[in-house]
Amino acid sequence: MSRNRPRPRDNGFGNNEELELWTKICQDIRKSKEKFDQQNSLSAQIKALVDKIAHDGNQPTMAEHDQLDSWLRLSQKLSEDERSIMQDEPCDVIKNLELLTALRKASEAEAPPNRSASFNKSRKKRNEVEGSVTDSPSASGADKTARSKGTVPRSGSVSSSTQAREGGRQDNIMVKIEEGPSEGTKGTVAERSGLLVVGAEVVFKHNKNKQGVEGEGIQCIIKAVSGDGPKKRYDVQDPEPNENGEQGAVYKTTAASLIPIPQLSAHLSTYPVGKQVLARYPDTTTFYRAEVMGARKDVYRLKFEGEEDDKEMEVDRRFVLDILGK
């Protein structure tokens, strides 16, 4: 899954069958990755509730029993959806990968006898194909923030290293201290409501004083909470590995920089047409401002700020948030 929204580009391949198949495979893998991430989030919620029940003497209330049953059923469904994407039609990623391999072998068999020229051409084509499915807002390697699951590298940092203080390394994970605005001694509404707990999904808002960052913030997971009152801090981690395959960066911040993303089973807010919201751009982990253009059961139809040609896109309701975020 890429971090920033894609930019229009001309890759020069037209309706090339291999490129079309490769693009479909990448899209389906992203869908599978979303199912996997949802299962991880759900597992953290299940563990937290099981630990609470154990602490209370292993005598769950009827509401807790029903909640666990609901989460376990949902987790099983997500697992089946992920398996179906990889093995069943119409996605069947495994079969399409085998087909793509066969097409590549056929293309190589028809290549000219000049091995050096053939290798350079193949490498150039592969680089262009990879470029067509990554989201690269700039030309520099460090700023290429694409992050497709297991296929395309991307930048592991939300902000420039010159604009964040490094708090040290633990288990090969860079910890960057991103001090948000002070929220006072009472904390934010989300904090007081107990929504900012370990395992919760949040939007980590960009520091508005920083340059060169896209959108309003990125999707992260709370990994640790420390301190109390005005000194309370949250370690939030970018869930995607960086371009070296290492775990995503961890950022130390305050509640004022975090917007909770509703749990899978939570009651979701309803927004009227014309409402300004914060939403996750499809196939990315970056949140942008958008305007609600319509809605149906599971999605909102949105027009993202700065989108060309009045393009409207559908976004899962869970990833459409109040613009205030507090």
CA geometry: angle 52, 54, 58, nearest 5 deg? 120
Inter-axis angle of helices 93-109 and 17-55, nearest 10: 150
- What is the structure's pLDDT at 72? 92
pTM of the model: 0.49
Give the residue among 22, 252, 3 at the shortest CA–CA distance from 127. Answer: 22
Distance CA 146, CA 152 (A): 7
Q: End-to-end CA distance of the chain: give it in Å, rounded.
A: 27
Domain ranges in the chain are 15-107, 198-258, 273-320
Ranges in the chain, pLDDT < 70: 1-16, 110-187, 211, 265, 325-326
- What is the structure's pLDDT at 241? 78
Distance CA 248, CA 241 (A): 5
> What are the tens digits of pLDDT across the range 22-41?
888 888 898 888 889 999 99
Query: Token digits for 194?
Result: 């107990």
For the CA atoms of the chain, what is the radius of gyration? 22
- What is the structure's pLDDT at 243? 77
In percent, how much of the chain has pLDDT > 90? 32
- What is the structure's pLDDT at 183? 47
Place of tokens 């917007």: 259
CATH number of 273-320: 2.30.30.140
Contact in structure between 201 and 41 (CB atoms under 8 Å): yes
